[in-house]
A = this chain, B = another copy of it.
């Protein structure tokens, strides 16, 4: 390359990067949100920028429910657990006289509120523990193949957000590690996140059931216990990040108050950081909810986003398509 060619290629660089983002993020509309995300990526990967971040430290964390896929009308994991409860019912005739079981099956929210969480969780624990982690994983995969979402009448794994799939791939192409940090159970996610997002089991951080090592008939297994070892939600998310990743992320993506501390942990501090909130404001293509929602409530984190000038993505305005199966519009 001649010096002149070198200069020319350098002059073309920002354009080339913009073209690359354009090619890699086709489901994102041009606008402030996309621009802020792309400009952040450009800046921290630019060797000549004062904000350059070496590859090893390019850690981006993503909430899952409501950030990478839908979470309405109930967290999809709750649908799985309820189906497991129904499947296990024939072996538990005693449940018929259990008010928590009746209320769950009838989805009687008033009755559930009267009963309280404890008997409900105990019941779900009985239906979802005692088996090995491998048996649990197999049950989960079988469920994912057959269960359908009540509104969209499609497998739950169809309801991932296409723009976020594109962004995950683009970040990895730019040398980022992409991690999920979710309040959901680790196995529930690990069964499908590699296919859906390109995120392997070892980069899925989530809530964890106690498990116990056993040699069962000479075969080494881990058996699920009916107690919770770790809740990866709210202030638990930075703790989960610390335990599993061991580096403070420079970018975080969430959609609810359960992500507030993770967003703070990643975005408040020295150096260039990125905090993004996915705002559910599209009743037509997905759902619209924030401050008053029972699921995925976004209230304090929305105030914090405004105060700290975090990026707020409007699903309605910033995304050409939401689900992979949609036509772009």
Contact = CB atoms under 8 A, between A and B. Distances in A.
Contact of A238 (B222, B244, B246): B222
Contacts of A235: 212-213
Contact of A202 (B229, B247, B265): B247
A244 B213 contact: no
Contact of A246 (B56, B186, B229): B186
20 contacts: A56-B194, A56-B200, A133-B242, A186-B246, A187-B246, A201-B246, A202-B202, A202-B244, A202-B246, A202-B247, A212-B239, A213-B236, A213-B239, A213-B265, A215-B264, A218-B268, A219-B269, A220-B261, A220-B265, A244-B244
A3 to B, nearest CB: 37
Residue among A202, A208, A246 with max Cβ neighbours from chain B (10 Å): A246
Contacts of A179: 202
A151 interface: no
Number of identical protomers: 2
Nearest to A210: B239
A243 interface: yes
Interface centre among A201, A220, A235, A238 (most CB of B within 10 A): A220
